Structures are given as structure tokens and as C-alpha cells.
Amino acid sequence: MKLDYKKTILVGFAFFIISAFWQAYDKTIPMLMTYKFNMSQLESGIIMALDNILAVFMLPLFGMLSDKTKTRFGRRTPFIVIGTICAIVAFIFIPLIGNIVLFIAILLVTLIAMATFRSPAVALMPDVTCKPHRSKGNAIINLMGTAGGLLILVLGMVIKVGKEHMSNFFPYYIAACGIMLLGLIVFILTVREPKWAKEMQENTEKYFPDNEAEERNTTAGGKLTKSQLVSLLLILASVALWYMGYNAITSKYSLYADSVLNQSYDLTLMIAQAGAIIAYIPVGMVASKIGRKKTILAGVAMLATAFFVAIFMTSESSPIFMYILFAIAGIGWATINVNSFPMVVELAKEGDVGKYTGWYYTASMSAQVITPILSGGIMDLFGNMSPLFPYASICVALAFITMFFVKHGDSKPTQPKDKFEALAGADD
């Protein structure tokens, strides 16, 4: 039995919505806070951490709630539909607000809405995908997320926003919300969660009745062994560290590019996204030979190197050099993301996928609570944005150390049978 790519792509529209939102959010919110409300980097960093503070508590909560939810539409779908609609309704009004208190209030409503469905959206893929194919499924989901982010980057090239284009923020937000709504419509019209989840269970019993290797290694009652628990904690620590580095760049680079490098934010990140897309197949081929852990370590090394070299970029440097660095960063980030989430989920029982998904996002969001405030405070201390890339490179380098000691959650290296199988790395 092979992965149903059509179903996985359609399920991926939930992640398409999420990625589209965060691309628009990370681009515009720092600009609005700096140019419209004259906030310092520390103040804007605190506001940028709001979503992550909420997510630390809400993502595990709604992951577990969706595990226990039973409706005729499924466990995850109601959260995805209601959360997306609420987020769009709130988000579209943000650029119209001139009062800082009201701005923060509406921003908070938007972030709460987004937090309600992120874990359910990501947990939906394992729900409808047999365990041996979840690595491939995660690669498809990442591609769908990349597609959502790319559309927003293209939008930014068509509708320019910034200090010299303040009147363009509202049209930009209308278009961004339109992209999110389009993704939701496709999801609603095509995804049949209860039917597909039932088919997954039937196919697992029929084709993969003896494929629960990680579960057989757990202690009585389904608890993790001590060794597995240590590996889980090390994976989550690694997730936190590389997100600290990566989010520092994504949350501040629009300002860094505008004020330090005098370069295009959208084009640079489009190149990074393109690098990620191009990397999926060769990254999967490497993972199929050497396993997820070693592949992740290679990706972490690439990301840390790209951020370290970027330290030496100035406004006088060639834009092409920065494009090369961000292409390398995109490849590194894709290498990490395709393989890290499956390592966490492989340690979960079928009924706990939402909970483990929540833990994965608790690690990433906890990091993103800390990093905007910490990096913003460091930059305010220096009086400029020069510490941005040193900070990011150190955080990512530390992730290499923690990931090095992980012993569980990896996959047995196998030779992929086709290009789509190579997309996601090794089977289990």
C-alpha cells in the first residue's frame, strides 16, 4: 500500500492556511509596531511573543481536546474551520486600528483564534496516514505550508508595504485573508476526515499489523521508557533551540533588511522558500540512506553556517551573496522540518497524536516566547540590529549538540522506491 498523495495534499490545506497567516503576520506586525506606533525593538519583541505565550498553553490543550472530540465532521475539522474563520475576521481589521490598546486587543483575539486549531491541523495528517507513510505525509504537508508562505511573499511583491507604503497595509491584509479563505474553502469541500481516519485504521490492520515497533518498546500502560523519555526531551530541546535562532530572523528580518541591508525582504525569503522546495527530494534521498537524525544534524549545520556567514553582510555587500545564504538556510530548515516532527510522533500511541503534537509546538512556541524579547533586548542594548545573526547562529549551533544525543524516534534507513517517497525521507 502506498501513500494517498491526493488526500495528503488536501489535508495539507490546513497547514497552507497556517503558513500563509504567519508569513503575513511576521512581515507586517513588526512594521506596524515600529512605523505606526513607534515602539522600541524590546517593546515590539514583547508583543511579538504574545502568540507564543498563548501557544505554550493553548496548543497542548487544544491538541488533547481534539483527541477527545467526536463530531460527524471528525475530531480536527471543527477546530480548523471555526478557528480559521475567527482569525480572518479579526486579522483583516488590524491595519485600520490607530489606538495601541485596541490594536493589541484585536491582535490578541486573532492569535487566540489561530492557537485553537494549529495542533488539530497538524495532527490531522497522522490521523489519516498509516504510520509507515507519515514521513512522506509530513513532507507533503511542509510543501503545502511552503506554498501558502510563497503566495504571501508574492503578494508582498505585488502590494508593497513599509514605511513608505503605509496606505497599502489594508489592501495587503484583504488579499492575505482572501488567500487563507480560499485554502479553507478547498479544505471544507474536499476533506472527509471521519471516512479517511476509518480507512487509515482499516489499512493499518490490513497492511501493517506488526508495524508498531516504538509502541512495543514502551513500558506497561503505554508510558515511555526512561531512554525514550530522555530522547523525547532532547528532541524537544533541539526544536526549542533551532526555533529560537530561526524565529529571531523571521520576526526581525523585515526591519533588518529595510534598515541595515537596504534589500528586499520578500525576494530574499522567496529564495529561501524556493531552496526549501528544491531540497525536499534530495534531502529525502539522503534521509533514506542515513536516517532522520543524521539528516537533521546536517540541516542544523547548514542553518547555523548560513546565519554565521550572514553576520558579515552589510548594505555594501552583493545581494546575490545574501540570496545564496538564504537559499542554504532554506535547504537547512527544510532538512530539519521534514524529519523532526515525525520523530516526536513516532513515540506516541495512536490516541495521543494530538497531545504529542501539542508538546512539539509547546517546545517551538516556548522558544518563540523567549527569542523576540531576548533578541530585541540585546539589540536595544547594543543600540542597533547587529546582534541579530550572531544570536541566531549560536542558538542553532546549540541545537546540534542536543540533537546529537537523541537515541529514539529515528527511522530505519531504506532505499526510496520513487521520488515521492524520497520527499519525506526513510520509512519506519
pLDDT at residue 94 in the model:
94
CB atoms within 10 A of CB 166: 14
pLDDT at residue 362 in the model:
86
Residue 163: is its pLDDT beyond 90? no
In Å, what is the CA distance from 396 to each residue of 290, 329, 333? 21, 11, 11
Q: What is the mean pLDDT of the chain?
A: 84
Residue 306 grid cell: 548560513
Per residue in 337-372, pLDDT (tens digit) is 888 888 888 787 766 778 888 888 889 888 878 887
Give the percent of the chain with pLDDT over 90: 37
Q: Could you give all domains of the chain from N- to C-terminal order, each with its CATH number? A: 5-206+221-424 (1.20.1250.20)
Crossing angle (nearest 10°) for helices 319-345 and 353-382: 150
pLDDT at residue 212 in the model:
43
pLDDT at residue 1 in the model:
67
pLDDT at residue 196 in the model:
92
Per residue in 37-73, pLDDT (tens digit) is 988 877 887 887 777 788 788 888 998 899 889 899 9
Per residue in 232-271, pLDDT (tens digit) is 999 999 999 999 999 888 777 777 877 777 666 667 777 8
Secondary structure (3-state) at 264 = coil
pLDDT at residue 216 in the model:
40
pLDDT at residue 222 in the model:
61
Residue 389 grid cell: 545573526
Crossing angle (nearest 10°) for helices 226-256 and 388-404: 160
pLDDT at residue 105 in the model:
93
> Which of 128-142, 180-194, 330-344 has the highest average model confidence (pLDDT)?
180-194
CB 232 within 8 A of CB 362: no
pLDDT at residue 411 in the model:
62
pLDDT at residue 238 in the model:
95
pLDDT at residue 211 in the model:
45
Residue 304 grid cell: 547555523
d(CA 38, CA 80): 35
Stated as kind and residue range, the H or E segment containing 306 is helix 292-310
Residue 118: is its pLDDT beyond 50? yes
Per residue in 366-420, pLDDT (tens digit) is 887 888 788 888 988 988 888 889 999 999 999 999 999 998 877 654 444 444 4
- Cβ neighbours of residue 289 closer than 8 Å, sequence gap 6 or more: 413, 415
Q: How confident is the model at residue 281 (pLDDT cuts 50, 70, 90)?
A: low
d(CA 153, CA 273): 9
CB atoms within 10 A of CB 219: 11
> Which of 52-56, 144-148, 205-209 has the highest average model confidence (pLDDT)?
144-148
pLDDT at residue 141 in the model:
87
